[in-house]
A and B are shown apart, each in its own frame.
Chain A
Amino acid sequence: MTADLTPDDKDAMAAEYALGLLSGDDFAQAQHLATTDRGFAQSVTNWEIRLATLTDELEPEKPNPASKKELLAKLFPNPKPTSFWERVWVWQAAGALSLLLLAVVLVIDFAGQPTATGPLYTAEIVTEAGDFRVVAVLDKSTDEVFLTRTAGAAPEGRILQVWAHGEGEPAISVGLWSEGDTIRLPLPQTIAAVEGVLTLGVSEEPPGGSLTGSPSGRVFGTIDITGVTGRI
């Protein structure tokens, strides 16, 4: 189908797609190209960038303050997020058990001895599509996090970077994960001090890590670990 489109035709179609002018077969073809043809997807983005400047002269309007309150209430109805375990039991009790086993194996493997001096938390970071999975074990006895990749990887020429934050805090880098299926990272002091909800995330970054102090590449996912307490 696409073979009979000249580059100019393709770019025109990308513009029409960005404008939302296509319908029927043309729309279906463009939608297919947008998900399969990098060049076409890039043309669509380029058109979106060009066309967005049509809004340059629009002066900002002050939104109704109630609008923000309503939005935040809609998005964050329950200040305390559902715990990992509550979610896990619903869909994968067996999986949870294997996580726990893995956690024990990991701790023994890494620390050389079973630890019983501090709380241990397990969590899994998964993309929406499930094509990337990391099992995380947070060991508060040593303030370290163990991570194991069970699916997916950073794209060619990129590395993984691990992030964490406490509730309402900015996320900071826990460390780089350049190679290997497993890694052990000591928690930065601010993260080790977090009590309550501790959020872990993984992103893909250029070698050497993000230059901005925040994720600069795709964030694969995040997970909230609830009820985190300090060392015993």
Chain B
Amino acid sequence: MTAEQRDEIEALIAQVALGNQTAFSHLYEATSGKLLAVCLRVLNERAAAEDAMQEVYVKVWSKADRYQVTGHSPMTWLITIARNTAIDRLRSRKIDRNIADYSERIAEPGPSPEQSAVAASESRRIVACLDELEADRRAAITGAYLDGKSYKDLSEQFAVPLNTMRTWLRRGLSDLRECMSR
């Protein structure tokens, strides 16, 4: 995404926060393709993904005023809402489970320098850093993020005790963070 596209989406979100319906329509045009792809990747079913995406935009409409204080870049904010909404739906098919609500987070006015740094320097490096991880740990992280797998699911998949699985994944995440920030 270019800086201009980023700024444009940011400006649209700001207008949406002020209740501008036309801006909301433009925001949908500019971002729904990507968000549908995210929902589809998680839910694996077109109708369910379109449904989830509608819920995503209802949230965007009602929470746009919170965007600036979350410290996200505009696309990561939208993608996080889409991913969490889709994962919630995926899990509610199986088991009722509570997931982190990004909206109830304590917030700073505007992104902190640290967050801007995270957004700018790390964004392109996760793939390279994932490649550095052991295959199992990599699969566990993407399984949790994109397939909504729980520790229980993962421990069954890798045939290890649940606590071992948790230690593994936490180590994998710590390695990932270390790699991305260097």
Contact = CB atoms under 8 A, between A and B. Distances in A.
A169 B20 contact: yes
A224 B15 CA distance: 14
Query: SS class of chain B's interface: helix, strand, loop or mixed?
Result: helix
Nearest to B154: A21
Contacts of B169: 16, 21
Contacts of B163: none
B: contact size bracket? 35 or more
Interface string B68-87: 11111101100110011001
Contact of A12 (B99, B146, B173): B173
B167 to A, nearest CB: 10
A23 interface: yes
A37 B106 contact: yes
Given A215-B68, A218-B66, A35 B105 contact: yes
A165 interface: yes
Given A37-B106, A52-B83, A213 B11 contact: yes
A8 interface: yes
Interface stretch (A40-48, A86-94, A103-111, A176-184): A40-48
B114 A42 contact: yes
A25 to B, nearest CB: 13
A146 interface: no
Nearest to A221: B65
A170 interface: yes
A63 B11 contact: no
B16 to A, nearest CB: 9
A76 B21 contact: yes
A216 B174 contact: no
Given A34-B100, A49-B73, A215-B18, A75 B41 contact: no
A8 B100 contact: no
B173 to A, nearest CB: 5
B44 interface: no
Contacts of A42: 71, 108, 112, 114-115
Residue of A16, A35, A212, A215 most packed against chain B (CB within 10 A):
A215
Interface in B15-34: 15, 17-25, 28, 32-34
Contact of B65 (A56, A214, A218): A218
Interface in A57-113: 57-64, 67-68, 70-72, 74-76
Contacts, number: 220
Contact of A215 (B14, B28, B91): B14
Contacts of A70: 54
Contacts of A18: 100
A121 interface: no
Given A34-B100, A41-B106, A201-B19, A52 B28 contact: no
Nearest to A9: B170
Contact of A58 (B34, B64, B112, B174): B34
A174 to B, nearest CB: 12
Given A67-B54, A168-B22, A217 B105 contact: no
Contacts of B122: 49-50, 53
Name which of B20, B61, B72, B99 has the most chain A CB atoms within 10 A of its CB.
B20
A34 to B, nearest CB: 5
B139 interface: no
Contact of B123 (A47, A53, A158): A53
Given A23-B97, A212-B14, A165 B20 contact: yes
User: Which 8 residue pairs across A and B have the least CB separation, nearest first?
Assistant: A60-B33, A214-B14, A219-B65, A219-B17, A20-B99, A52-B76, A58-B37, A53-B126
Interface of A: 8, 11-12, 15-21, 23, 27, 30-31, 34-38, 41-42, 44-64, 67-68, 70-72, 74-76, 155, 158, 163, 165, 167-171, 199, 201, 203-204, 206, 212-222, 224
6 contacts: A12-B170, A12-B173, A16-B170, A20-B87, A46-B115, A214-B14
